[in-house]
Amino acid sequence: MASFQTEPFGRYYLIDKVATGGMADVFKAKSFSHGGFEKLLVIKRILEHLSENDEFVEMFIDEAKITVSLQHPNIVQIYDFGDIHHHYYLSMECVEGKDVKGILRKLAHRRKLLPTEFAVYIAHEMCKGLDYAHKKCNAQGGPLLIIHRDISPSNILVSYDGEVKIADFGIAKAENSVYTTQDGVLKGKFEYMSPEQANAAALDHRSDIFSAGIILHEMLTGRRLFKTEGDIKTLEKIKSVDIQPPSALNPNIPGRLDAIVMRALSRDPDDRFADGREFQQALLEFMYPATPDLTRESLAHFMHDLFSTEIDDERERLLEGTRIASEMYAADPTDDDAPDWVESQTTATGTLHTGSQRWPLAIAIVALLLLGGVVTWAMTREPKERVVERVVEAQAPTTGSLQLRIEPDTAAAVVTLNGRRIGSGSVITATDLAAGKDQPLRVQAQGFVPWEETIDLDAGERLRQRITLTPLPAEHTTTDVPLLTSQSQPPVTDTDTDTIGQVRVEQIIVTANFTSDPSGATVTIDGQRVGTTPMSWTQGVPGRAYTVAMSKDGYRSGKDTATMPESGSKTFTQTLKAKAVEPGTLQVFAGKAGPASVTVNGKSWGESPPLIRRQLAPGTYSVTVTPKDGSDPVTKKIQVKSGQTAKATF
């Protein structure tokens, strides 16, 4: 690849060859325009000997038609489609990074496994892109019913900045596809097929869910799940779903994650996740309290460390190829208005001649309309890099968000914050909420005791919480009156009665007083945070037993059973034992400021890049990075907490 010579291709300049596949060559390319504008992109060009093969060309056109309608952060974007000198091509977004296959291969050479948090994050992002594609509709609102059919490690790209994108819809199946697969013909990589795909049976979007499950399994274990010595045996193994959970090969995988993977790999599609969103939500809950944004940042550091040599080589080739392409453009600027489709003449039968080939006029018109739509989108779309930089750096967040999971999920719950309704159902996501302390959060559902707690919501914070509702005693339940309508506002009251819809339910108020030694411990009742000691709680059901846990930094958590009094009040006390102080971890990365020397509290830590990680006692540290190029040093104050990783990124 390093010996590739820059060459013009229509209005593009091919500056580096990325790969050669079964039907196309893939290049990094540059385009130039007036005022010094230039753009880095990828050209996927069909192999010359296949340009005369109707089936391949039809499949290639189908890929363009399907993919150009997909505009999502987790799907590689298509910019342009056409025919230059009898070469059909797609121009698309350039993702500077590696595919999952390349990542796992590099780790295998180092005898290392991909960290679990990164495997889960990659699968989470992949599911987001799949769910979008599966649910994409046409302009009339009808579902396109897109199925990728080739979800495999080589088609999942991970950028050096931690982004995850799905590529290559070359054999995707959609409701409006021109290209159709003949009965009994298998399309896709055998090792990543679903059982129904291996049987050449009818497919729906859940086939892609199975393939995504294979990739997650392989990322967690570093082993090829269905690899055998022959294709026939591979297909038979897939049909029988003869597999072990990831923990059988990697004992560090927890049971919760095993269950998620094995559900995605169920033989019967009805037993899998219903769609990509359900799969994604399961992975998101497993990741908690980590967030995708923080994990993406860590993955970016990991990628830069793993592929530091490749990044340098690619950058050198990119700079040299761009230099040569710039000189070519300056010597002979391309005509930006020249059409990609060269029409010789239209015959009486309505066919279009392109070189020696004859194509239906309808295909040419579709391609031209498609190109017009892509160009219009590209001209009006704000560059993502500029939006991110300006919003993040110039404007601090002023609001917070809230995500609640209410159990049982059959409860038709209504949620209010500060007396204002913010949602209903079993999963509530509310954004742009006013930040503030001691905000009353209330959950009501017919047949259940109302739940209430005060929460602190900071700007830029997303608070996630699981809430378990307590059924009302049998004599208080009712089924003949509906719960609050979507237009009504739930009442907020401090009296000894509560209104649910049009039914007033009498309640006996009992008080539980919680204290701890030392005080200031966080109190959790049946998994719900209710406050800090000393405190009183009046949401309990008389005579019912609750699991009460208390926790405080620097102390071992305590857990006990508290039975509510039948009336009046009762005090519950826990004594917390101090625990040994666990060290934290300080992670320093100079990034684009590097190479630079790093000092922490005046002591030299060496040079970054690469990433530097050391364990330290909890406390605040002064981290100084001094660039080798003579730039001014930069200092940050970083707080290291026990058992946590603090990141100083420059």
CATH number of domain containing 152? 1.10.510.10
Same-domain pairing of 298 and 317: no
pLDDT score, position 478 = 40
Q: What is the pLDDT of residue 164?
A: 97
Closest by CA to 430, choosing from 443, 415, 448, 445, is 415
Bridge partners, residue 241, by sequence? none
- Quote the pLDDT of residue 568: 81
pLDDT at 395 over 60: no
pLDDT at site 610: 82
Query: Is residue 380 very low, low, confident or very high in pLDDT (cuts 50, 70, 90)?
Result: very low
Report the sign of the C-alpha dihedral through residues 67, 99, 315, 295, in that order.
positive
Q: What CATH number corresponds to the domain at position 597? A: 2.60.40
Q: Indicate if the pLDDT at residue 505 is higher than 60.
A: no
In a domain, 276, yes or no: no
Average pLDDT of the segment spanning 295-301? 93
More confident residue, 238 or 81: 238
* pLDDT tens profile 544-588: 888 899 998 878 888 888 888 887 888 999 998 887 777 888 988
pLDDT at 346: 31
Best-predicted range by mean pLDDT (248-252, 340-344, 358-362): 248-252
Instruction: Tell me: do 291 and 320 sit in the same domain.
Output: no
User: Based on the domain organization, do 476 and 525 belong to the same domain?
Assistant: no
**Taking the model in full, what pTM does it have?**
0.53
Alpha-helical (H) ranges within 450-544 are: none
More confident residue, 424 or 351: 424
Tokens of 544: 């019912």
Q: Is residue 27 part of a domain?
A: yes
Do 137 and 42 reside in the same domain of the chain?
Answer: no
pLDDT band at 338 (very low <50, low <70, confident <90, very high): very low
Instruction: Let me know if residue 37 belongs to a domain.
Output: yes
List all residues 6 or more positions away from 392 whose beta carbon is below 8 Å from its beta carbon: none
Residue 572 CA from chain centroid, whole number: 43
For residue 463, the domain's CATH number is 2.60.40.10
**Average pLDDT taken over every residue of the chain:** 78
Q: What band does 95 get if pLDDT is binned at 50, 70 and 90?
A: very high
DSSP 8-state assignment for residue 504 = E
Burial class of residue 18 in the structure, from the number of CB atoms within 10 Å of its CB (0-12 exposed, 13-18 middle, 19+ buried):
middle
Rounded CA separation 521/550 (Å): 6
User: Do 362 and 424 fall into the same domain?
Assistant: no
**Could you give the 3-state DSSP secondary structure of residue 165?**
strand
Residues 377, 452: one domain? no
Residue 491, token pair as written in the block: 């009442």
Stronger pLDDT, 337 or 297, i.e. the higher one: 297
Confidence of residue 396 (pLDDT cuts 50, 70, 90): low
* pLDDT given for residue 545 in this prediction: 85
Question: Which 8-state DSSP code applies to residue 335?
Answer: -
Neighbours of 107 (CB within 10 A): 16
Residue 591's nearest CA partner among 161, 293, 163, 295 is 161
CA-only gyration radius of the chain, Å? 30
| Structural tokens at position 292 | 């995708």
Q: Is the pLDDT of residue 13 over 70?
A: yes
Residue 427 lies in a domain: yes
State mean pLDDT over 327-356: 47
Q: What is the SS3 string spanning 363-431?
A: HHHHHHHHHHHHHHHHHHCCCHHHHHHHHHHHCCCCEEEEEEEEECCCCCCEEEECCEEEEECCEEEEE
Statement to judge: residues 212 and 299 lie in one domain: yes
- Give the C-alpha separation, 320 to 242, whole Å: 50
Say which CATH number the domain at 72 has. 3.30.200.20
Report, as an integer, the average pLDDT of 91-99.
93
Domain boundary among 306, 334, 351: 306
Q: Residue 10 in 3-state DSSP?
A: coil
Looking at the structure, do residues 622 and 641 belong to the same domain, yes or no?
yes
The mean pLDDT value for 599-620 works out to 88
- The residue-averaged pLDDT of 29-47 equals 87
Residues 62 and 50 grouped into a single domain = yes
Pairing state between β 462-468 and 399-407: parallel
- The 8-class DSSP code of residue 508 comes to -
* SS3 (DSSP) at 624: strand
Confidence band for 170, pLDDT divided at 50, 70 and 90: low
Q: For 445-460, what is the mean pLDDT?
A: 82
363 and 418 in a single domain? The answer is: no
What pLDDT was estimated at residue 584? 87
Q: Which residue, 479, 501, 523, sits at the end of a domain?
A: 501
Span 521-530, pLDDT tens digits: 899 898 888 8
Same-domain pairing of 355 and 295: no
pLDDT value at position 188?
Answer: 53
| Domain termination site, one of 376, 394, 412 | 394
In this structure, is residue 205 part of a structural domain? yes
Give CA torsion, residues 381, 383, 387, 390, to 10 deg.
-140
- Which has more confidence, 471 or 600? 600
Tell me how far CA of residue 108 lies from CA of 96, 118, 153, 303, in angstroms: 21, 16, 14, 15
* Enclosing domain of residue 344: 1-94+308-394
**What does the pLDDT average to over 3-16?**
88
pLDDT of residue 410: 64
Q: What is the pLDDT of residue 35?
A: 73
Residue 268 lies in a domain: no
User: Tens digits of per-residue pLDDT, 181-192?
Assistant: 444 344 457 889
Provide the pLDDT for residue 245. 93
**Residue 305 reports pLDDT greater than 80:** yes
Which of 239-253, 362-376, 380-394 holds the top average pLDDT?
A: 239-253
- Evaluate whether residue 611 is within a structural domain: yes
- Digit-coded pLDDT (tens) for 14-33: 999 988 876 788 999 999 88
pLDDT for 647 beyond 50: yes
Q: What is the mean pLDDT of residues 461-485?
A: 61
Helix (H) or strand (E) holding 124: helix 116-134
List pLDDT tens digits, range 70-90. Answer: 889 999 988 888 888 778 888
Give me the phi and psi of 282, to 5 degrees please. Answer: -65, -40
In a domain? residue 270: no
Taking a C-beta distance cutoff of 8 angstroms, is the pair 613, 646 a contact?
no
For residues 214 and 225, give the distance between their C-alpha atoms in angstroms, rounded to a whole number.
Answer: 7
The pLDDT score that the predictor gives to residue 299 is: 94
474, 422, 486: which is closest to 449 by C-alpha? 474
Same domain, 573 and 593: no
User: In this predicted structure, what is the pLDDT of residue 474?
Assistant: 60
425: left (phi over 0), alpha (psi -120 to 50) or beta: left
Q: How confident is the model at residue 381 (pLDDT cuts 50, 70, 90)?
A: very low
DSSP code at position 578: B
Could you give the number of structural domains in the chain? 5
> What percent of the chain has a predicted confidence (pLDDT) above 70?
80
pLDDT digits (tens, 9 = 90+) for 157-167: 999 999 999 98
Could you give the percent of the chain with pLDDT greater than 90? Answer: 28
Structural tokens at position 204: 């729906």
Q: How confident is the model at residue 497 (pLDDT cuts 50, 70, 90)?
A: very low
